[in-house]
Structure 1
Amino acid sequence: MSGSTETKEKDWIEFDIKEPHNQEDVFKGDVSNISEGMIYYFPTTNEIDEEHVQQSDLMLSGKLKLSNSHPEVETILPPDWENNLTGSQNWLFILHSLRWLEIPLNAYRYTKNEKYLTFINSVIESWIEGNNPRKETSEMAWRDHPTSYRLRFFVYYRSVYTKIENFDESFDRKLLLSIYQHMLYHNDQDNFHMKSNHSLEMIGAILSASHHYKNVFKRADEFFSLSVKLLTEYLNLNFSEKGYHFEQSPGYHWYVLKRLILINDYLDHYNISVGTIVDLIPKILRANRMLMKPDFTFQTIGDTQKIDMKNQLRFEPKETSFILTDFEVCEESGYAIFRDDQSLTVFRCNNFIGSHGHSDFLSFTHYSHETDWFIDSGYYTYNKDEHREYFTSSFAHNTVIINGKSGKPNDKKTELVFNNHNDYVKAGRYLDSGTHERSFQKVAESDYIINDIIRLNERGKVEQLFHIHPSISIKSISKNVIELENQDGVTCYVTQLNTIGTWEVIKGQEEPYIQGWYSEKFNKKVPTFTLKYVANDKESYLLKTFIHFSSCPLMDETV
């Protein structure tokens, strides 16, 4: 990506907030001459109550709980910024984002007790002193995502802090100069990874901060112009023509959509026009609904948690109307969607991995009868460990493993084929060991036939995987039929129509390899059944699988 000159690109590192002679070109006016009004993304909640006070008092006593996904730790606050007390990269990210300081800020908003502001000041001052970018700092101190959170919080916090009667002008000066340093960071295009939602967070942060301080900082207009340019570039790079996001996780599709709506509201509030965002948001809203189950939650595809999506309705303009089709294929983003008022099936039909995508090419998920039946195993953690490796691999998805190897995002894909009768799609990949093509055909309301055609260069082993939701019970009916039953007594039969292998069932296994786990919430996993149909010692295979919802199984080998 093109950027400014080398000197400009790294001026955020060189900038020294302690040296007055380095600040002469920073300000153009009175520091109180700010653009009052809306601040992007803050306040994050207006529901302040006694709970914030209780949480803050625990924090002030040295009990730090950064989020509901992480344990409480006892530590001296302000913390040691390089000490990862939990071993979690996500915990360290939240620590450096300083977004946990929203809790004592809300306690102040609720009580007007300035002890909470004194505490926040001490933490901010400690962070500034302990994380000079010219020195060795924590890996999360100056990363894109925590830095954008911190900038937004600093801008909002200063708007609250400077309204108290006797605020500390020396601290305020330091905070203001740190805000400027953060803006310089956001003006360095080397810090943007434009195919990641982190860049959108950065764009929103610098767009609002530069507009907020347009009468204070000499370079504010320059920062704002860059943010608008990058916003347009981000939108062009990260969405398909139909509005599907390329990060390959419906949960992040929603995450990005919320931020875009907030940015658009901000722009609209100040009568700032960025045409691309206005045109794209309705498409994204529709795509979001296409990926939503009838119960208004997402399937756990990629890095997606179970989220109640009813809140999306409040983002949809009243005049918005969607045409939601029964069948839609978007090759660019890799979704083939079969849906109606009672069911949703998503087949992954393109082979690439976005920032939050998994090795799930040719996998599928299925919801019907108010039940998740065939699931993506979820994501569990962002730590780079054996569990993250499993949850993102083909072994955690409903696809075919060939010779014990997970699929790769750079495997060349075969031609995508689908018909206009809303019932058939076929995709495939070329492997070092041969080819694998999978066709997925809807034959009844919730019934499907899956054909896996595998041609190998030499004899090999194939393992067809089906990951079942923990609420489902299973039992073997015959050598080729497995029965699934939900809690309401609805039955689904998985039938192998060419009996060339054997069924195996794995649940909650850690050794000799990880298999049979499900995660619908961050840092939480539960055992679940993985059905594995295994066939050996052939050069070519036709696995013909019938997924059939009925009161009785199909026992013969023809459909």
Structure 2
Amino acid sequence: MAKAVSLSLAVLLLLSTLAGCLSNEYKQFINYDIDEAIQYWQQYDEHQYEKRTPPTSQSVEIADNLVNNDEIFLLRYWDSYVYDEDNLNWTEDPYDDETWVFYFHSLRMVSFLMNAYELTNDTVYIEKAQWFIESWMEHNPNPYNHSGTRFAWGDHSTANRIITLTYFWDYYRDSPLFDEEFANEFLNMLNNHGIFTAQDKNYSWGINHGIYQDRALMQLAVLFPVFESSEEWLGISISRLSLHLNEDVTLTGVHKEHSTSYHYLVMGLFMSISKFANHYGISIEELDSTIYKMQEYLVLLSKADGTTPLIGDSTATNLMGIDESQIINEHLLYLISDGDRGEKIEQDSGVYEDAGVALFKNDWDVSPAIYFALFNRFHMVTKHKQCDDLSFVLTYQDTDYFVDSGKYNYDERDPYRILMRSVFAHNTIAVGDESYDIEDSNNIGTTAIEHYGITSEYSYVKASHTMYDGVKISRTVIFFDEGAVYFHDQIESDENHKYTQIFNIGQDVIIDDSNQNNVILSSMIDNSSLTLTQLNTISEFESYSGSNDPVRGWQSTTFNEVTPITTLNFLLEGNNVAFETVINLGLEIVDVDNFQDSGTNVYVITFDDNRTERIEIG
């Protein structure tokens, strides 16, 4: 069957060329010197390249289900799709989900088959992998002639496909199934992938998709010097990557796509490129220094359990899974080795002013762990940005008390996705009943960290934004290491508005809101508790839990899944209003007197033992 498909594909390519159907961008069929193509691979005892899926204990089972039962498994978020081999035409979308289609056209199933072949050396797997590749080639010969979905020749899917096709070639070239005719067709198709990815019009500037393209084009250029443009492609990939290093990451090492998960993902991309470049003697300026700073940020970002918070389009990432051989930052090495290697960071609280991030921790070695993080930044318009400016998360001991929404999925029509990106899924301030526009590039630069400080007993940050037209919202936070957090939310406007102070409470928390000015929160998983106290009079109080009208009180920690949580809303109305709110966790703030002295904001804070603390900000 593979031979028949191969022959029909060659005829199709020839007819398309003769008819002038192929654009001049995609050259006529080339008869490559197959021995030359293979010879380069034989120069190395071991090659270094990325794999979209690593071989695991499940690889053979996934591949067997594909070979024997026609079950295409892509990711755990979807059931396996049973396809009809005689009718597969690459228009399939069984779950009405673009993300599934993206992975389908990335040929993720081929990667699983290659995992199984790598583990077992059973040719049934590589034969099936070849069948899928030939089928895809037949229905998607070039960007101007494909199966009709934008993912056939999309920026990201094409880059992923290059990675998987490289994996296939490494094992196919020495396999008993090697066929020179198919190898030639395969190389022509791979060359078209390089032509497509090298063109500026197909490149994703300023977002992580472009880095996937850089990695793929670099890998293609180095491992396939048989292609005429390989040296040019290498130069293009390095040049573009340098732009990402300089423009997509702040000077302090924080990725700008507004997501903790995407910071981790992009850092991983940079690390894999660095590993590849070092193996083949390629020099890329600033790559390792950027990785070092991005790893340093993770040390401060991490919670006590070694995970990162859900900020922006994120899922919880466990830093303990990072391969130590990839770590170049001594503080991250100390963290993930549990102090066996590396060096302990001197100060694990910090404010990244250029990134709009404040991270405060008490001394976890001597006190129950308190983790506080505030985010206030709008670097770029990206699908991963959410309306989370001035939002915070707080974890006490093992319990996530105040949580962020997660991402749910990427279907912007889905009501849960709309909620996850809205202001109402974050611990911040809403004006009226609307979110602000995160698709408006005019809002870039309207967020600011105005003041901050870190001492041995407390830390503070004042941040603001003007995302809502005609409204300035400022949030001052004072974090006491002994166990209290004070919020001063000031809203200024020339017009009357309804303002909502929003708190999203984690799913492992019991809520007693019988006294709405003094809400008691207790953990279901440890012995901790805290109080959420309003120091000023509130005009109205709302509570939602798993509500669908309106859609409120949901969190997504797993792709395509939502879990009900509780959202507490405190409301005020007017032109210029202020919320003063306290979270007491062991230490109890009973009163705060705030005033200005010669342009400086002064806070005199009184605790339940009559002790006072005067803090000047600004």
Q: Deviation string for 1:299-352 (max 9, x for gaps)?
A: 111111122220226232485546353432223222111124323211112234
Aligned pair partner of 1:213 in 219, 224, 227:
224
Counting only pairs closer than 5 Å after superposition, residues 170-209 of structure 1 correspond to structure 2 as 170-209=181-220
How many Å apart are 1:103 and its aligned residue? 1.6
Per the alignment, residue 481 of structure 1 pairs with: 518
One-letter amino acid of the structure 1 residue matched with residue 435 of structure 2: S
One-letter amino acid of the structure 2 residue matched with residue 63 of structure 1: E
Question: Are 1:236 and 2:246 matched, yes or no?
Answer: yes
Q: Which moved more, 1:347-356 or 1:306-315?
A: 347-356
- Indicate if the aligned counterparts of 1:413 and 1:427 stay in contact, CA closer than 8 A: no
Question: Are 1:368 and 2:396 matched, yes or no?
Answer: yes
Distance 1:390 1:180, change over 3 A: same
Question: Are 1:63 and 2:71 matched, yes or no?
Answer: yes
Q: Deviation string for 1:252-311 (max 9, x for gaps)?
A: 111111121111111111222112112221111101221111111011111111222202
CA RMSD of aligned residues (A): 2.5
- Indicate if the aligned counterparts of 2:356 and 2:449 stay in contact, CA closer than 8 A: no
Question: Are 1:527 and 2:564 matched, yes or no?
Answer: yes
Distance 1:90 1:446, change over 3 A: farther
Q: Percent identity?
A: 25
Aligned pair partner of 2:586 in 536, 550, 553:
550
How many Å apart are 1:15 and its aligned residue? 5.3
- SS of 1:382 mapped into structure 2: coil
Counting only pairs closer than 5 Å after superposition, residues 18-167 of structure 1 correspond to structure 2 as 19-20=28-29, 23=30, 30-35=36-41, 36=44, 37-42=46-51, 44-47=53-56, 49=57, 51-60=58-67, 61-77=69-85, 79-132=88-141, 133-135=143-145, 137-167=148-178
Instruction: Give the unaligned 5+ runs of structure 1.
Output: 1-10
Aligned pair partner of 1:343 in 365, 370, 387:
370
- Indicate if the aligned counterparts of 1:390 and 1:396 stay in contact, CA closer than 8 A: yes
One-letter amino acid of the structure 1 residue matched with residue 554 of structure 2: W
How many Å apart are 1:92 and its aligned residue? 0.7
Distance 1:546 1:13 in 2: 65
Distance 2:539 2:409 in 1: 34
One-letter amino acid of the structure 2 residue matched with residue 274 of structure 1: I
- Indicate if the aligned counterparts of 1:12 and 1:185 stay in contact, CA closer than 8 A: no
How many Å apart are 1:86 and its aligned residue? 0.5
Q: Which moved more, 1:86-95 or 1:542-551?
A: 542-551
- Indicate if the aligned counterparts of 2:431 and 2:499 stay in contact, CA closer than 8 A: yes
Q: Deviation string for 1:427-453 (max 9, x for gaps)?
A: 222332432211111134342111111
Distance 1:396 1:414 in 2: 19
Instruction: Give the unaligned 5+ runs of structure 2.
Output: 1-20, 331-341, 594-604, 607-618
- Indicate if the aligned counterparts of 1:497 and 1:544 stay in contact, CA closer than 8 A: yes
Distance 2:446 2:107 in 1: 43
- Indicate if the aligned counterparts of 1:428 and 1:435 stay in contact, CA closer than 8 A: yes
Per the alignment, residue 8 of structure 2 pairs with: none
Distance 1:455 1:15, change over 3 A: closer
Taking structure 1 as the reference length, the TM-score comes to 0.90
Distance 2:516 2:184 in 1: 75
Distance 1:551 1:318, change over 3 A: closer
One-letter amino acid of the structure 2 residue matched with residue 267 of structure 1: A
Per the alignment, residue 403 of structure 1 pairs with: 432
One-letter amino acid of the structure 1 residue matched with residue 502 of structure 2: L
Counting only pairs closer than 5 Å after superposition, residues 297-308 of structure 1 correspond to structure 2 as 297-308=307-318
- SS of 1:338 mapped into structure 2: strand
- Indicate if the aligned counterparts of 2:295 and 2:329 stay in contact, CA closer than 8 A: no
- Indicate if the aligned counterparts of 1:39 and 1:212 stay in contact, CA closer than 8 A: no
Per the alignment, residue 420 of structure 2 pairs with: 391
How many Å apart are 1:376 and its aligned residue? 0.6
- Indicate if the aligned counterparts of 1:344 and 1:366 stay in contact, CA closer than 8 A: yes
Distance 2:345 2:150 in 1: 46
Per the alignment, residue 459 of structure 1 pairs with: 496
One-letter amino acid of the structure 1 residue matched with residue 206 of structure 2: K
- SS of 1:190 mapped into structure 2: helix
Distance 1:466 1:477 in 2: 16
Distance 2:47 2:510 in 1: 52
How many residues align? The count is: 540
One-letter amino acid of the structure 1 residue matched with residue 78 of structure 2: H
Distance 1:103 1:126, change over 3 A: same
- Indicate if the aligned counterparts of 1:349 and 1:416 stay in contact, CA closer than 8 A: yes
- Indicate if the aligned counterparts of 1:450 and 1:544 stay in contact, CA closer than 8 A: yes
Distance 1:189 1:178 in 2: 19
How many Å apart are 1:396 and its aligned residue? 0.8
